[in-house]
Amino acid sequence: MRTLLRRAFFGSLVAFGLIQLVPYGRGEVDPPVTKEPSWDSPRTRELAVRACFDCHSRTPRRPWYARVAPVSWLVRHDIEEGREHLDFSAWDQPQRDAHEAGETIEEGEMPPWFYSPLHPEARLSESERDELVRGLRASLADALRPARRGARERRERDEK
Ligand code: HEC
């Protein structure tokens, strides 16, 4: 029995060591911030940084355990997917899901359920949540009608 336990222990230690060699999620480098939304107030940004920026920005916090597999794999996946939907650091690019930002918070969909227990600083009180929803609606207004804005910009360009 002892030998079996010892083998299982050393076996998992080796496995843990080996998965660290998988390149996916290793040495992650964040692309540069190009533009942020025009925040309605520093407070909205502060709340978004706390609750959203780890997956929806190019300045995520990366604690040491986020660099250790298999956590690093999940982190890389979340950041990749998250930025694809909404990237607060690339506001010069189309943001296809910006209009849903407030809703996802109200519905308790964002931040994801597995994230908040591990990140106490990201947990928002009910009033902070309301504040963030209101703040995002005000700050992201310019991204809510991308099609119309695009048309206006084209018209302005043509008139020159
Ligand atoms: C732990 C990472 C993580 C955090 C923190 C997070 N998100 Fe997300 N978010 C994702 C991922 C991954 C997706 C894409 C897949 C999905 O929908 O689950 C996503 C999708 C979205 C979408 C697209 C619509 C949708 O439901 O797919 C919106 C809008 C959004 N997030 C807003 C927010 C806001 C606002 C916050 C902060 C209150 C936030 N998210 C915090 C990971 C995160």
pLDDT (tens digit, 9 = 90+) per residue, 94-120? 898 999 999 999 999 999 999 988 899
Best residue among 80, 104, 131, 134 to mutate for probing ligand 1, ranked by most atoms within 8 Å of CB = 104
> For residue 16, is pLDDT > 80?
yes
* Residues paired with residue 35 on neighbouring β-strands, in sequence order: 90
38-42, 81-85, 133-137, 143-147 — which is least confidently predicted?
Answer: 143-147
Is the pLDDT confidence value at 32 over 90?
yes
Q: Is the Cβ atom of 84 under 6 angstroms away from ligand 1?
A: no
More confident residue, 153 or 62: 62
CB 92 within 8 A of CB 34: yes
Residue 145, pLDDT > 60, answer: no
User: Is the C-beta atom of 109 inside 6 A of ligand 1?
Assistant: yes
Name the 3-class secondary structure at 90: strand
Read off the DSSP letter of residue 30: P
User: Among candidates 94, 82, 26, which has minimal Cα distance to 53?
Assistant: 82
